[in-house]
Structure 1
Amino acid sequence: MVYLTGDTHGELDRFKDGELRRAGKGDFVVVLGDFGFVWDGSKAEQKNLDWLRKRPYTILFLDGSHENYDLLEQYPTEERFGGLVQPLGGNVYHVCRGSVLELEGKKYLCFGGAESPDKEEREAHVNWWPQEMPSDEEYARCEAALEANGWQVDYVLTHDAPSKFLDFSVLAEGENNRLHLFLDKVVMKTTYEKWFFGCHHKDVQLSTKSRCLFCDVVSIGEKKPWWKRR
């Protein structure tokens, strides 16, 4: 089973309560950005990370606008699940932007990042990082991965959303940026079943194919009996 949820902001409650308590060995839990457990490197944060590393399921997270990218960049990258990830120890992995992962026979395009609306009030490399917005290399990696898959995936997972989703919804805010417009291109060119994103701290079904997640948990696939789990 693959479980999807929105921003966790360094809080363990989502993993300890509700739907995610059902996740077990062989399952995947995907956080759609603002994971928040790589922020200050404190002992308390490390304790929480250690708890997550011991979960029986695999945790995959996209980056958002509230990650410490300087700390995150210290972790090595490797090819896994069909894409590029950074292992944080145990079963916890950061999914690099533009990766197409294959989980339980389904393809997931993953692309993190978002622009902080209050970045002018924050201090660079203290509580705000310019790496929150994708680089030319990351945009190119995403296009190359989609090209290799014939611009067809089963699901698209992002932190922010295309402007086409935001302009006509309750989520619209501010001006569009380069990331929004890039995701617009992905919408237009890619064949996909559903698109899930976080970022906006709301649980909203925008259409039959697009959904904003925050505290809700969406499960994809069928729960395997314990004797068939990895």
Structure 2
Amino acid sequence: MKYYITGDCHRHFRKVEFFCRHHGTTRKDVLILLGDVGINFFLDDSDKKLKEELSKLPITLFCVHGNHEERPEYIGSYYKKIWCGGAVSFEPQYSNILFAIDGEIYKFGKKKGIVIGGAYSVDREYRLLAGLPWFQNEQPSEKVKKRVEKELEKIGWKVDYVFSHTCPLLYEPTPKEVIGFEKIDRSTEEWLDSIAKKLQYTKWYFGHYHDNIQYADAELLYEGIKELGKEDYLQKLGRPKYRVGEKVYFLYGKEQEGYGTISVVDGYGTFGQAREVSYDIMGFDCNEPESRILFKHIEESKVQRFEEMLDESL
């Protein structure tokens, strides 16, 4: 049995399928998902179809609550049972899909971890306008907060791991591209910050911010997959940021500049790109605009949309 951990999936599980296939996992192995799994999002047959597909995976999914999904306690098909020392929500027909309960403490081998899910939705207004699901109970309630603090008091405010969706202010990245960031309800982050100041922990894992960042005693995970407690990534595929047909600026070779149109998004795991997505771009060298060239396997970190480049130059 091994324990692995990764960030948001938002109903897209290619990284999980790829991981299971290439690491030979079994149902005894556990993958901790740090919220926004998206399994209980539409609350209709499409959710059931997704769960049926995931129930065939050779791994057990342990899901922290995010802000893009309903809490299982508000869905009538869920039951509770004890798993790894703590209570989880589950549906009998999907036995490898488990949902953590906020405030529960679970045992992962010789280590213990507490789960604190939930977050504020930055896209709340958009989802409401677009007719997409938004869940009123996305953030932890006062009842949940009191329960978390009570459980931590029982164990003397000392634990090996914390698994949350969002994070304490201490670790909060500042997404400058989010318009109105300063207006976001950060009450959950402020409360988690107060928890972090009192709690002794080895590592605080969280998702929500769609990036992979390592701190001294915390970890923000998105596409990266690690073995719990380990430093190195086992897989860091990345979901492609750009699509075929997009016009982009890019760097290649020894910081040479080019521009063109994405013609191919390289397949996962190909061309040695276990750590970063790459693209084939039909375009021009900025110094030789007369010659059209197919630039192969340009890493995503070296690619930028024209609009982004222009914004930075203003």
TM-score bracket relative to the smaller structure: 0.7 to 0.9
* 3-state SS of paired residue (2:99): strand
Match of residue 223 from structure 2? 215
Q: For the structure 1 residues 20 and 129, does the alpha-carbon distance in structure 2 shift closer, same or farther, using more than 3 Å as the test?
A: farther
Q: What is the letter of the counterpart of residue 178 of structure 1? A: S
Q: Is the 1:198–1:212 Cα contact (8 Å) retained in structure 2? A: yes
Alignment of structure 1 residues 28-177 onto 2, 5 Å = 28-69=30-71, 73-74=75-76, 75-88=78-91, 89-123=94-128, 127-166=133-172, 169-171=173-175, 173-174=181-182, 175=184, 177=186
Alignment root-mean-square deviation, CA:
2.4
TM-score (norm 1): 0.85
Q: For the structure 1 residues 178 and 99, does the alpha-carbon distance in structure 2 shift closer, same or farther, using more than 3 Å as the test?
A: same
Q: Is the 1:110–1:158 Cα contact (8 Å) retained in structure 2? A: yes
Q: For the structure 1 residues 110 and 47, does the alpha-carbon distance in structure 2 shift closer, same or farther, using more than 3 Å as the test?
A: same
* 3-state SS of paired residue (2:219): strand
Rounded Cα–Cα distance in structure 2 between residues aligned with 1:10 and 1:42 = 14
Q: For the structure 1 residues 170 and 181, does the alpha-carbon distance in structure 2 shift closer, same or farther, using more than 3 Å as the test?
A: closer
* 3-state SS of paired residue (2:79): coil
> Cα distance, 1:70 vs. partner?
7.4
Rounded Cα–Cα distance in structure 1 between residues aligned with 2:68 and 2:133 = 8
Q: What is the letter of the counterpart of residue 88 of structure 2? A: V
Post-superposition CA distance 1:6-64 (Å, at most 9, x none)? 00111120221136742324211110000101112443432221232233432110111
Match of residue 12 from structure 2? 11
What's the % identity of the aligned pairs? Answer: 28
TM-score (norm 2): 0.64
Rounded Cα–Cα distance in structure 1 between residues aligned with 2:124 and 2:161 = 30
> Cα distance, 1:72 vs. partner?
5.1
Q: For the structure 1 residues 190 and 56, does the alpha-carbon distance in structure 2 shift closer, same or farther, using more than 3 Å as the test?
A: same
Rounded Cα–Cα distance in structure 1 between residues aligned with 2:72 and 2:202 = 34
> Cα distance, 1:126 vs. partner?
5.3
Q: For the structure 1 residues 136 and 221, does the alpha-carbon distance in structure 2 shift closer, same or farther, using more than 3 Å as the test?
A: closer
Q: Do structure 1's residue 183 and structure 2's residue 186 form an aligned pair? A: no
Rounded Cα–Cα distance in structure 2 between residues aligned with 1:97 and 1:70 = 11
Aligned length: 219
Q: Which runs of 5+ in 1 are unaligned?
A: 223-230
* 3-state SS of paired residue (1:94): strand
Q: Is the 1:7–1:199 Cα contact (8 Å) retained in structure 2? A: yes
Q: Is the 2:20–2:58 Cα contact (8 Å) retained in structure 1? A: no
Q: What is the letter of the counterpart of residue 125 of structure 2? A: E
Q: Do structure 1's residue 201 and structure 2's residue 210 form an aligned pair? A: yes
* 3-state SS of paired residue (2:26): coil
* 3-state SS of paired residue (1:132): coil
> Cα distance, 1:95 vs. partner?
0.4
Q: Which has the larger radius of gyration?
A: 2
Larger relative contact order (C-alpha < 8 A, sep ≥ 6)?
1
Q: For the structure 1 residues 68 and 20, does the alpha-carbon distance in structure 2 shift closer, same or farther, using more than 3 Å as the test?
A: farther
* 3-state SS of paired residue (2:200): coil
> Cα distance, 1:2 vs. partner?
0.9
Rounded Cα–Cα distance in structure 1 between residues aligned with 2:166 and 2:105 = 17
Q: What is the letter of the counterpart of residue 112 of structure 1? A: G
Rounded Cα–Cα distance in structure 1 between residues aligned with 2:110 and 2:175 = 32
Q: Is the 1:38–1:72 Cα contact (8 Å) retained in structure 2? A: no
Q: Which runs of 5+ in 2 are unaligned?
A: 231-314
Rounded Cα–Cα distance in structure 2 between residues aligned with 1:53 and 1:131 = 26
Please identify which structure carries the higher strand content.
2
